[in-house]
Amino acid sequence: MTARWRRMRLSSRLTLSFVLVIIISVLIMVVVANQIAVRRYDDLSRQFGIQWGTRIAPSLASYYSNRGSWEGVEALLSAERGNRGTAGPAAQGLAQKRPAESPAIPKNNTGPAARMLLFDAQGKLILDSAPDQGTLKITAKQIEDHGIAILLDDEPIGTLLVDASLGRLSPAQRAQTQSITTLLLLAGLAAAVGVAAVSELQTRNILRPVRALVDAANHLAEGDLSQRLPVETHDELGEMAHAFNTMASKLEEQNALRRRTTADIAHELRTPLSVLQIELESLEDGLVEPDSAYLSGLQQEVRHLGCLIDDLRILSLADAGELALQHEQVDVAWLVRSTVRRIQDTARSKQISLQARVDEQTPMVQGDAQRLAQVLLNLLTNAINHTPPGGSVSASARSEPGRIVVSVQDTGTGISQADLPHIFERLYRADRSRSRVTGGSGLGLSIAKSLVEAHGGEIWALSAVGEGTTISFSLPLDTPSPSDR
């Protein structure tokens, strides 16, 4: 059954589920309504039986008082049971003989016929008003609980039991409860049909975007990254379509980035290799002398290739989550000052003012000091390369709730708003010519981003063309206070 259910289409399963819920609900409603009706009729029957017996009991007591026995009482009970509005001859004679204070025989011609049982003082059945209806099995306990005592001078002379007081349904009442049950079942059937029709329509509306998603996903798997779904609603289905569109857009962007990265890596590798090939061919042909300056140029190209390979290796390790970090207590203030000192001569040679602004009370952080110095050195080098002579570059560190923020600010050329969101992408450079004068391979900021994120931090940039750039990164605090250093 489970396997067959799983093989069914989702639309069929949804429709069948709705119908089953309605059927179960209707069955529960029918059972509950039937029980309520039966109990209500039982209560009404008991009340009727008790009231009827209470009304007849004085007439029976008067009859016994006048006759001195129960002989002939069946005429009175027959008149009471029929209740046709006119008593029989025996009842009429009793009415003429009874005293004035005796209760009148009931003459309600709208009441139902009641089966009455009369017992003597010892509990022996004297009379059954409807023996043709079969033997009525009654216990002594039922006679005691539901019977009406017939008293004469406060002495019990018998007990009257009306069968209705036992809570038994009459044929008419049973027919009425069956009619209620039938009507509820028919109503449930109609509701099930209606729900099946409505659920079928709703299921189609729900599954239409799902089928569209499946088709789009299949095309996406085949390489068509232009697939998009229309967002027609604001419910979960609309959110699903929006999420798919976002995923497809990201995949398309990543695919374009991958192609661009492959081309850029090929370009970065081709340039030094081409230089090396030309220089080595010139050396082989005897066109140049292998002096120290010439060999230094070759060595520089080799170093450039080595740096590019190292950068790509760091990024691949970060992507795989295998970048090894030597965690220790890092003094951020010392890190900023020492890194600034390392690059001070370079800044001075380019007539750029380089300063470190740190608070001596800056807390320490857990991290890899060498990797963090690599991040800061990369940011300072970029800032110096993009700042004209006479400009300034500063490195600062400040404490914020739960983190340390390190910033590198320059007064350089700035970054356009179109390029700003992409500067941390691999091999992305605003200078499409990829000149080494204006920058390196374009991996520096990507590496910085990977290293910062490996420390549990984040990195961001603010810039305006012609006003300069500020690149900041944060590190989570997990450090002792400065006094503990």
18: how many CB neighbours lie within 10 A of its CB? Answer: 18
- What region does 468 belong to: left with phi over 0, alpha with psi -120 to 50, or beta? left
For residue 178, pLDDT over 50 is answered with: yes
DSSP string, 332-358: HHHHHHHHHHHTHHHHHHTT-EEEEEE
For residue 320, pLDDT over 60 is answered with: yes
What pLDDT does residue 70 have? 83
289: how many CB neighbours lie within 10 A of its CB? Answer: 8
Domain ranges within the chain, ordered by starting residue: 2-171, 257-320, 328-484
Task: Work out the pLDDT band at 334, boundaries 50, 70, 90.
Answer: very high
Residues 11-21: what's their mean pLDDT?
76
Task: Work out the pLDDT band at 392, boundaries 50, 70, 90.
Answer: very high
For 249-291, the pLDDT digits (tens) are 888 887 877 777 677 677 667 777 887 888 788 877 777 777 8
More confident call, 255 vs 439: 255
What pLDDT does residue 338 have? 93
What pLDDT does residue 362 have? 83
More confident call, 218 vs 429: 218
Instruction: Supply 240's token pair.
Output: 């699903």
Per cent of the chain over pLDDT 90 is 16
- SS3 (DSSP) at 312: helix
What pLDDT does residue 452 have? 92
Is the pTM above the cut of 0.95? no
Please, what is the Cα angle at 408 between 403 and 410, to 5 degrees? Answer: 150
Which one, of 361, 310, 312, lies nearest residue 332 by Cα?
361
What pLDDT does residue 1 have? 53
Q: Where are the beta strands (DSSP E) in 299-412?
A: 328-331, 353-358, 364-367, 392-400, 403-410
Distance CA 69, CA 220 (A): 103
What pLDDT does residue 396 have? 93
What is the CATH topology of the domain spanning 328-484? Heat Shock Protein 90 (3.30.565)
More confident call, 473 vs 14: 473
For residue 450, pLDDT over 50 is answered with: yes
Which one, of 74, 107, 114, lies nearest residue 90 by Cα?
74
What pLDDT does residue 7 have? 64
Residues 64-83: what's their mean pLDDT?
76
